[in-house]
């Protein structure tokens, strides 16, 4: 099989990409609207890209109708967001928060979650999440126009919160305790429970 993106339907291209690039970690992102509504949404186009300064990147794509998602509009307005780890015990709530709601409704209430104040940004943290990274926007780079076009949000991490119960004896995050989940293709997810170790050469 061969697929040339420029000559095919963008939805088909999208399906190939999310099938090939796996597993994709999920950024569970809170933002706040100008009227104070807390938005919560998951994004699997996500990773960290440096530690000096600490930088995370994720991409809220445009909707199928080409309009902007609430997360992107809020970030463009406020310049702030919080990224949480998506973990196995909260996977159903992470998935539920992907539901499209009107801008004046919050996914926090829909998922039965609670928030606690952040220390350096206005968007609050999800109380139930074991980790949170408070971020300020460095740059937003639109990578296209129209349906499913990406918007690369580059944020500097200004505060990190980690629950003690996911740390190892050396004070580092223990993946066996954190147990994150990731997206594959379609409705398929995976858990980071099948682990193995390879010492670096």
Handedness of CA 19, 31, 47, 160 (dihedral sign): negative
Tell me: the pLDDT tens digits for 35-53? 999 999 999 999 999 999 9
What is the CA angle 46-47-49, rounded to 5? 140
CATH number at residue 60: 2.30.110.10
H/E stretch holding 71:
helix 70-78
pLDDT digits (tens, 9 = 90+) for 143-181: 998 889 999 999 999 999 999 999 999 999 999 999 999
CA distance 198 to 33: 44
Percentage above 70 pLDDT, the chain: 99
Domain that holds residue 50: 5-181
Total tally of structural domains belonging to the chain? 1
Give residue for tokens 């998935």: 95
């Amino acid at each position: 099989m061969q697929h040339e993106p420029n000559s095919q339907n963008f939805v088909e291209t999208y399906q190939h990409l999310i099938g090939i690039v796996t597993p994709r970690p999920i950024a569970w992102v809170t933002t706040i609207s100008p009227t104070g509504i807390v938005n919560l949404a998951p994004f699997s186009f996500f990773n960290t890209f440096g530690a000096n300064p600490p930088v995370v990147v994720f991409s809220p794509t445009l909707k199928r109708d080409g309009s902007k998602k609430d997360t992107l509009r809020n970030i463009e307005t406020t310049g702030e967001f919080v990224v949480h780890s998506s973990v196995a015990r909260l996977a159903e709530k992470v998935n539920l928060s992907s539901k499209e709601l009107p801008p004046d409704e919050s996914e926090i209430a829909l998922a039965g979650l609670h928030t606690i104040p952040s220390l350096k940004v206005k968007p609050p943290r999800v109380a139930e999440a074991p980790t949170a990274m408070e971020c300020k926007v460095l740059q937003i780079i639109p990578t296209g126009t129209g349906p499913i076009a990406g918007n690369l949000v580059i944020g500097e991490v200004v505060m990190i919160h980690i629950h003690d119960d996911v740390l190892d004896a050396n004070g580092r995050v223990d993946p066996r305790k954190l147990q994150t989940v990731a997206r594959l293709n379609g409705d398929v997810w995976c858990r980071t429970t099948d682990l193995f170790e390879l010492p670096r050469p």
